[in-house]
Structure 1
Amino acid sequence: MKKLTVLIILMALYCLPMQAQPGKGIRWSIDGKSYFKATPAGIEAFPLSGEAAILKIPAASYHSLPIRDFYFSGDEKKILLYTNAKKVWRYETRGDYWVLDIASGKLQQLGKDKPASSLMFAKLSPDGSKAAYVSGHNIFVEDLSSGAITPLTTDGTRRFINGTFDWAYEEEFGCRDGFRWSPDGKSIAYWQIDATRIRDFLMIDNTDSIYSFTVPVEYPKAGESPSACRIGVADIQTAKTTWMQVPGDQQQHYIPRMEWVPGKNTLIIQQLNRKQNNSKIMLCEAASGKVRSLYEEKDSAWIDVKSRWDDDNIAGWDFIRNSKSFVWVSEQDGWRHLYNISAEDGKATLLTPGNYDVISIAKIDEANNVIYFLASPENPTQQYLYKVSLNGGKAERITPANEPGSHEYKISPYGSWAIHEFSNAYTYPVSENLELPGHKSNGNIVLNAITKSAGAPNKPEFFQITTVDGVTMSGWMSKPTNFNPARKYPVVFYVYGEPAGATSLDAIGAGRNFLYDGDMAADGYVYVSMDNRGTPLPKGRNWRKCVYRKVGLINARDQAMATKALLQKYPYLDPQRTAVWGWSGGGSMTLNLLFQYPEIYKTGIAIAAVGNQLTYDNIYQERYMGLPEENREDFVKGSPITYAKNLQGNLLYIHGTGDDNVHYQNAEMLLNELIRYNKQFQFMAYPNRTHSISEGQGTFEHLSTLYTNYLRTHCEPGAK
């Protein structure tokens, strides 16, 4: 139901089928002066100073295995190679692993007795003598010298999961890698997820055999208790697990974060209650399992976990001062700010005062006493690099003022170098290496796609519009080729509108419709997208969280009232040719707009939509809507099926029957309501396609053609 925005931007550029697999992460050298990358020649080191790349490990050393990813040992004497990757839900997180000893050239495969492509999250021990991995929902440790393999757990099953996670934890918390080596390499801390009480949702496969069969997914719907979760520490020598004595009912809380405190035999965890509005940070003694609470905060709506503000990365904990404190993010004063939390008494000290949001942390450079972070106090559609003292104070912008748009920085371990990536709505992504804090480029700019298109005639225009409710929304508008303001044009709105993503960002992809087969501007369409309240723009806590228990109502009204204001403000927008479309949460928004505001929207295309909020998973839906047993009426009021009887315009509804995220049952529930009220519509089911509707030969072409033909037929292109 989420995470579509970045994909849409990428597909707008490259016309790729929908996929969520991230690219390889940057592998920094020990000295932080270069980074590593796998090339056809091997693994090469690329100096940030702009010097020629150095071939570190020739491909012949590892027999030209198809490298999916790689990881160096701490001393850079060994390298862990990940190959033959296979998908688990969204990401390719299982495959084969090999260890290459760089000096001797010895190459050995881990887990040779395990099924092919079954190993997950393999990691070398701190001293590089062992490797640990998950296979078949159990954790194993392999001695690299002897090849001996020791199971640390033996009770793992599809529903009883050690060292990784179930569907809901992975999808909603970004939790995938579920175990951590201790700093001394003598033990491993891990999550254990007990999903044995979670009911299976059965998807039906009608195409892969003559007789249909079911595909079970343990999937806790809204209103169902979560999987039970606990944290254990396994001793490498004895394989004995000590369980952390975390208080509370294991099936009524979440533990989305767990790490070792650097240099100590202590774990730090975050516990959320089921409503996710009470967060507790606890310290756990690994040897005894004893737990003490350190820091607690509450919110009348919900509390985001680290993946929301740290680039969707749940791993790591930002300790400083020799582990005496750590940097944390909180919205307790109404803005998303950085705090220094004492590891002794939990005292919180504000580091970034001011009426602005920290978007994400880029780097904590303790040696230079600074924190680099992304923010955009003046324009919520953009983001720039800032720095602030580790002692707190006024933030200083680092990104030059003459580069408006969206900036990302991958900063080296010692904070002196960064890989800087930049794009905006009319500039294709470019990358350069630069020195910090001066933002001095080495002049080696890499073009990631086609060169800039700054002179393009139809670059989108950014605007703000204020609704009758006094809500000011950001958006972009892409106008037709040879635009004439004296004529009237059809307008197509792209929507998402839920807490998981924003669409109005000033980044490449804005103003482009990846699904349209042709040139919308040349065909005479105005293309618009706006972000309503509830979307994760850096506009303060209240902007983001006022939709609590009102998803499907407040966000839909904002979109509708903003559309109404645009139609009144710009006479060239034809109110008789208004279309709206979206995918996932945007599909839900499309349905709500078409059903709740039929006088505004004449045509809608909804893809993979949640038609009934009670069908979606508990972590996401309960976070934003509460518990159905307490306020079921809010789930009903926010669901499109409640308003299906109001359909007046044209609806194309599309869903994959193999969608393990937003289940196909949403389509059939919605269809039943439309049929009940004799509402005519067009429907397309894609057999066995998942939430991305990307599998199978010809799928994207078919989807694009279907979408385009329907839009052209029911929202006639061209000026009038």
Structure 2
Amino acid sequence: MNIRKTVLIACCLSSLSVYAQHIPTLEEVVNGGLVVTKGGSQVNWLSDGSKYSKKEKNPAGGYDIVAYDASGKGKREVLIPASSFVKPGTSDTLSVRSFSFDTSRKQVLVYTNTKRVWRYDTRGDYWVLNMQTKQLRQLGKNFPESSLMFAKFSPDGTRVAYVSGNNIYVENVADGKITQLTHDGSSTIVNGTFDWVYEEEFFCRDGFRWSPDGKYIAYWQSDTEGTGWFDIINNVDSLYPKIIRFPYPKAGTTNSAVKVGYVAASGGKTTWIDLPGDPRQNYIMRMEFIPESNDLFIQQMNRPQNTNKVWIATIGGGVPKNILTETDAAWVETNDQVTWLKHNTYFTWQSERDGWRHLYRVSRDGKDIQPITKGNFDLIEQVGMDLKKGLVYFIASPDNYTQRYLYSANLFGKGDVKRLSPLNEQGQHRYNISPDGKYAVHTFSNAVTPPRIEMVALPSHKTLSVIEENKEALAQYQQLKLRPKEFVKAHSGNLVLDAFMIKPVDFDPAKKYPVIIDVYGEPASSTVQDVWQGGNMWHQFLANQGYIVISIDNRGAAAPRGREWRKCIYGEVGTFASQDQAQGILDLARQYPFIDTSRIGITGWSGGGSQTLNCMFRYPDVFRTGIAIAFVADQRLYDTIYQERYMNTPQANPEGYRKGSPISYVEGLKGNLLLIHGTGDDNVHYQNCEMLVNELVKHGKVFYQLSYPMRSHAINEREGTTYHLRKSMTDYFLKNLPAGGK
């Protein structure tokens, strides 16, 4: 339910010899292109870690695939010129969306002509280029256009497996012979990929795995029969409405039945892995082959998501073995960064078992569990390893929850950690680390500093080469002379909350100003981040209409503040958040007399829209004007995996669902309220808006509503949408929340 957006902008230059201050207009904020940042940290490391590859535009047209030496010597090599991607018998060049090499680096798999499936463009066409013969050949050319998904080479590079029409296929690279591995794929049986809720909440999309020896393919199958189907009505693209139908399990209702199995890559019968438990009351979130083996490492979570069982199942080996069980009184997380150590006799595992998220070393049989990191801090993300040096690299920020830094620890040490990010670079650091852990593409930024990208050696963090400094972008931003985002502390009872504020450029501390709070407040994300976000131009624009823009991270937000901070909201999503927002802004008003408590507005998107409604309805004497966007009005209307993770089921926690749902409190509305929703929202359904409107009308509450036909959760499709939405928000605030200092 998270949606956080950034927009890029830069300053218009005056014709005078000095730069006059330029306050960005809404058109500039929406259209961007004035503060132009360059470069990116996303590169494809080659398997040995000495080079990385990326796409670069060829002056003659198309894109070359080039490789750079990581050691800082600056050597550039064109691995594949754009001319190699010309379709046979034509003058058309493939538009390369992404690419991957086989293990020999003699073949490259090219993904092109892509189509979006819900969030991401996971369906398209695939071509194989033989880099020695220069032969370019399309895979599955007799399948419908843009219908292949998740194609990947076999370990020896002789075959490619892919999904089409909910079935799995294997194609020989040499002769194009296709073997169909599954035959029951349909509108309700999904092989090798996932249904809507697994994709959205477990980030599951690619649903099959090659065995290390290339003899088998293991895969997920989802049976959506019995799951409730949701209908979206498209009234704008044809004379008569069209119905979009898809299975969507709402909280407390029937899930898909999901199981995993394996089949010979040459074809044959699938063997299903006999995991205990009702497949509709358990989730199989992760499955990978243990390196150099035919053992599958499977994570299975129960429906309440408070128990994660790890199973090892061997191809042809009978009953799987449960080697590890992770439990929590609230919820547990999926482990996405399992790494195998010491000839695959140990693996890494993240856990909050001591109250903080730390990394552990677990023996293959699960009997020996030892901490790799220790201390009163959260490991935020494991980002790489140097197995020769015995080091793991990870992100943490023990002293400032809005920032991010690189640390290292010994994989077989005593839990001691060492900070590697430079002490003089305060903000957030990201790393794309080479497979051998020797090099990293390092990106540093903060709220007022555009990304600086460089290649560094690890663990010394010595700069080897500068990839992009973005000096011009920094100059463009500084020429705007905007007031920087300020990080402050707010209090809710005994809790200390992180917050930020942005003031108008003509701010006068002797005056009182209205406030617009930008809220999220759900457990999935955090808004108070000291990182470059395009200069926060939408917030700056609002501030310069005469508002102070503030955001507060309430308890339960995804901040690295320990288990208790994050999970104290279990069963109470929506209640503590709105309480902290109300108490937090009143505390800031006590600290900063320039805040006018008679003019407090609030807005949020998705979960932030829900919190906006809760604040407006439950604390009407604090919040005077609200704009709620793409909101959940009744938590029973959202999906099983997300909502039940934090709230259990409506059957088990009816009072929690009632208390956390804004629709329960519409009688409290006193102020000005604007509802915004896309009618084509497959995530948070427009049904939420209609049900809330029905309740508001029943109670005689005056409000305003803006619906965007066939826009999704992002409300950014179709011409003019983003500008119209932002202009509508601006106008509503200016009309109902008087701007400017008084």
TM-score, normalised to structure 1, is 0.95
- Cα deviation, 1:300-359, whole Å, max 9, x if unaligned, reads 10001135xx5xxxxxx3111111010010001100000011112342111111110000
After TM superposition, list the pairs within 5 Å mapping 1:105-120 onto structure 2. 105-120=134-149
Structure 1 pair 391/241, CA: closer, same or farther in 2 (3 Å)? Answer: same
Residue 507 of structure 1 aligns with an amino acid whose one-letter code is V
1:515-544 CA-partner distances (Å, limit 9, x unpaired): x6x833332211111101111100000000
Aligned residue type for 2:217: I
What's the CA shift for 1:40? 2.1
CA distance in 2, matches of 1:378, 1:94: 43
Q: Which residue of structure 2 aligns with residue 494 of structure 1?
A: 518
1:380 alignment counterpart = 401
1:31 corresponds to which of 41, 45, 48: 48
- The residue number in structure 2 matching 1:58 is 81
- 1:650-670 deviation line (CA, Å, top 9, x unaligned): 111100000000000000010
Distance in 1 separating the partners of 2:143 and 2:681? 29
Alignment counterpart, residue 191 of structure 1, candidates 220, 229, 238: 220
Given that residues 490 and 715 in structure 1 are in contact (C-alpha distance below 8 angstroms), is that contact kept between their aligned partners in structure 2?
yes
Please tell me the residue identity of whatever aligns with 1:608: A
Partner of 1:313: none
Q: 1:161 & 1:540 partners in 2: Cα distance?
A: 38
Pairs within 5 Å for 1:333-372: 333-372=354-393
Query: Are 1:216 and 2:245 an aligned pair?
Result: yes
Distance 1:50 1:251 in 2: 55
Shift of 1:209: 1.4
- Match for 2:408: what amino acid? K
Counterpart among 87, 92, 117 of residue 121 in structure 2 = 92
- What is the distance in 1 between the residues matched to 2:243 and 2:7? 33
Structure 1 residue 510, shift from structure 2 partner: 8.6
User: Deviations for 1:400-439, whole angstroms, at most 9, x for unmatched residues?
Assistant: 1100001100011111110001110110112111111111
Q: Deviations over 1:542-593 (max 9, x none)?
A: 0000000000101111111101111222110111211100100000010100
Provide the secondary structure at the position in 1 that maps to 2:313: strand
* Alignment root-mean-square deviation, CA: 1.8
Aligned counterparts of 1:652 and 1:67: Cα–Cα separation in 2: 42
Over residues 427-480 of structure 1, what are the superposed CA-to-partner deviations in whole Å (9 max), with x where a residue is unaligned? Answer: 01121111111111124240468236468440011111222x211100111111
Q: Is the 8 A contact 1:159 1:196 kept in 2?
A: yes
Query: Whole-Å Cα distance in 2 between the matches of residues 659 and 113 of structure 1?
Result: 33
Structure 1 match to 2:331: 302
- 1-side partners of 2:597 and 2:108: how far apart? 61
1:126 positional shift: 0.5
Provide the residue aligned with 2:440 in structure 1: 418
Partner of 2:132: 103
Q: CA deviation at 1:9?
A: 3.4
Deviation track 1:608-649 (CA, whole Å, cap 9, x = no partner) reads 000000000000000000111111121111000101111111
Gaps of 5+ in 2: 11-27, 33-39, 59-63, 87-92
**Structure-1 separation of matches of 2:440 and 2:100:** 20
Q: Summarize the alignment of residues 616-631 of structure 1 with structure 2, pairs less than 5 Å apart.
A: 616-631=638-653
Which residue number corresponds to residue 6 of structure 2?
A: 9
| Contact 1:477/1:511, CA 8 A, preserved across alignment | no
Structure 1 segments of 4+ aligned residues over 6 angstroms from their partners: 11-14
Whether the aligned pair in 2 keeps the contact of 1:295 and 1:347 (CA below 8 Å) is no
Whether 1:268 aligns to 2:297 is yes
SS in 1 for 2:474: coil
Give 1:314's aligned residue.
Answer: none
Counterpart residue identity of residue 708, structure 2:
Y
Question: Of the candidates 149, 153, 170, which is equivalent to residue 178 of structure 2?
Answer: 149
Q: Secondary structure at the match of 1:368?
A: coil
Q: CA deviation at 1:501?
A: 0.5
How far apart, CA to CA, are the structure 2 residues paired with 1:368 and 1:47? 22
Q: Does 1:127 align with 2:156?
A: yes
Measured after TM superposition, the shift of residue 239 of structure 1 is 2.6
Distance 1:50 1:275 in 2: 53
CA contact (8 A) 1:478 1:511 kept: no
The answer (yes or no) to whether the contact 2:294–2:315 under 8 Å persists in 1 is yes
Does 618-627 or 704-713 show the bigger shift?
704-713
Tell me if 1:678 matches 2:700.
yes
Relative to 1, partners in 2 of residues 1:472 and 1:450: Cα closer, same or farther, differing over 3 Å?
Answer: same
Aligned to 2:725: 703
Aligned partner of 2:696: which letter? L
Residue 592 of structure 2: aligned partner:
570
Cα shift at 1:607: 0.5
When residues 388 and 521 of structure 1 are mapped into structure 2, their CA distance, relative to the original with a 3 A threshold, is same
Separation in 2, partners of 1:60, 1:513: 40
Q: SS state of the match for residue 674, structure 1? A: helix
Judged with a 3 Å threshold, the aligned counterparts in structure 2 of structure 1 residues 220 and 137 are, in CA distance, closer, same or farther, namely same
Q: Does 1:330 align with 2:351?
A: yes
Greater shift, 231-240 or 295-304, is seen at: 231-240
1:682 offset after TM fit, Å? 0.9
CA contact (8 A) 2:663 2:692 kept: yes
Cα distance in 1 between the residues matched to 2:346 and 2:358: 16
* 1:282 partnered with 2:311: yes
SS in structure 2 at match of 1:557: helix
Question: Following superposition of structure 1 onto structure 2, how do residues 605-620 of structure 1 map, counting pairs within 5 Å?
Answer: 605-620=627-642
Aligned counterparts of 1:678 and 1:76: Cα–Cα separation in 2? 68
Question: What is the distance in 2 between the residues matched to 1:522 and 1:663?
Answer: 33
SS of 2:653's equivalent in the other structure is: helix
* TM-score using structure 2 length: 0.92
**In the aligned structure 1, how far is the partner of 2:659 from the partner of 2:727?**
34
Q: Indicate if the aligned counterparts of 1:511 and 1:527 stay in contact, CA closer than 8 A.
A: no
Structure 1 residue 198 displacement after superposition: 0.6
| Residue of structure 1 in register with 2:197 after alignment | 168
- AA partner of residue 508 (structure 2): N
Q: Could you tell me the percent identity over the aligned residues?
A: 46
Does structure 2 conserve the Cα–Cα contact (< 8 Å) formed by 1:504 and 1:510?
Answer: no
Q: Structure 1 residues 619, 243: closer, same or farther in 2, change over 3 A?
A: same
